[in-house]
Amino acid sequence: MNASTPIILAVDDKVENLDILTSLLEDYDVRDVTDAAGAWQILDHTPVDLILLDIMMPDIDGFELCRQLQDDERTRTIPIIFISAMSDEATISRAFEVGGKDYVTKPFRPLELLARVRTHLELKFLMARLHNLAYFDSLTGIANRRRFFDLATALFAAPGDLQAVMLDIDHFKQVNDRHGHAVGDQVLRLVADTIGDRLPPEAVFGRLGGEEFAILVPSADPDTVLAAMDGIRQAVADLIIPLEEGNLSCTISCGLASRTANTGNIDALLHDADQALYQAKGSGRNRVIFRHIQK
Ligand SMILES: [Mg+2]
């Protein structure tokens, strides 16, 4: 068993049932508990991949625990296979209604249960992969355009200070033209890492496309963000990328804008930041410009 061994949580009030499951699922990392409270203790700090859930249990039964799991954002996507002695149609259909993904009757056929466990784990990992492909930039690992705008729209809807930064890598086309796209990709990754490492945890950072990035920082004043961005600009300028043909370095230009009472929506805020970026480019690059809006 290693770090990538799937973790299965088995919940059943009868210890002898748990023993059967644990020995059957010996290739997995099985955590077994006898009630809902025990299940939550595990779920609070373990990234569980699949739950095998009994229905008839004292206190909180399997249906109620399943409902709780569906209501919690942290556990909603974990597939649940009900395992129960009850085989009437009403119970089985209710199990699916409350959010179960599968239903196996006791006594179960071991190979069938193993096959269902494998299938639901495969589906779960595929869904996670699709989610990553849909929302994260595959080159840099940061939020892609779609995810950035999802998060940005939510941030804009919340009250309080909000600073926006648009930035791009100076003369990036020349990097690709002179050194090839592999080096260009290396530069993009390195610059994204350098920026991401220096941003406060509440910042939203995304790659909008090509060499263009955007950052939103909530609950911060413009001077703080201006100083932080200048530190980041310097850190990028200090990067050295060793190539066979000699060391390569690069710089970024950044435009900063604050949300004001008159900023209508997130697009308007990013547009203001983009205007500042345009000024930074026009005045020599490798700089951070804060756009003061007279409104
Ligand atoms: Mg039971």
Domain ranges of the chain: 7-133, 145-290
Q: What is the DSSP string of 151-215?
A: HHHHHHHS-S-EEEEEEEETTHHHHHHHH-HHHHHHHHHHHHHHHHHHS-TT-EEEEEETTEEEE
Closest CA to 29 of 9, 45, 11: 9
For the question of residue 211 being annotated catalytic, the response is yes
pLDDT of residue 244: 87
What is the whole-number distance in angstroms between the Cα of residue 113 and the centre of ligand 1?
17
Distances in Å between the Cα of 252 and the Cα atoms of 111, 174, 191, 248 are 58, 14, 9, 14
CATH homologous superfamily of 7-133 = Response regulator (3.40.50.2300)
In the chain, the N- to C-terminal Cα span, in Å, equals 62
In degrees rounded to 5, what are phi and psi of residue 231?
-65, -40
Question: What is the pTM assigned to this prediction?
Answer: 0.74
CATH architecture of 145-290: 2-Layer Sandwich (3.30)
On the question of a common fold for 7-133 and 145-290, the answer reads no
21-53, pLDDT tens digit by residue? 999 999 999 999 999 999 999 999 999 999 999
CA 74 to ligand 1 centroid distance, Å: 25
Is pLDDT at 1 greater than 90 in this prediction?
Answer: no
pLDDT digits (tens, 9 = 90+) for 128-150: 999 999 999 999 999 999 999 99
From the CA of 47, how far away is ligand 1's center (Å)?
Answer: 24
pLDDT of residue 3 exceeding 80, the answer is no
Please tell me the predicted confidence (pLDDT) of residue 293: 60
Among 122, 211, 244, 245, the one annotated catalytic: 211
Question: For the chain, what is the mean pLDDT?
Answer: 95
Reduced to 3 states (helix: H, G, I; strand: E, B; else coil), residue 258 is: strand
Ligand 1 center–CA 204 separation, angstroms: 46
Query: In whole angstroms, what is the distance from residue 132 CA to residue 129 CA?
Result: 5
Cα 29 to ligand 1 centroid, rounded to whole Å: 22
Q: 3 Cβ partners below 8 Å, 6+ apart?
A: none
As a whole number, mean pLDDT of residues 114-122 equals 97
Task: Say if residue 295's pLDDT is above 80.
Answer: no
Nearest-angstrom CA–CA distance, 43 and 53: 14
Token pair listed for 94: 């209710």
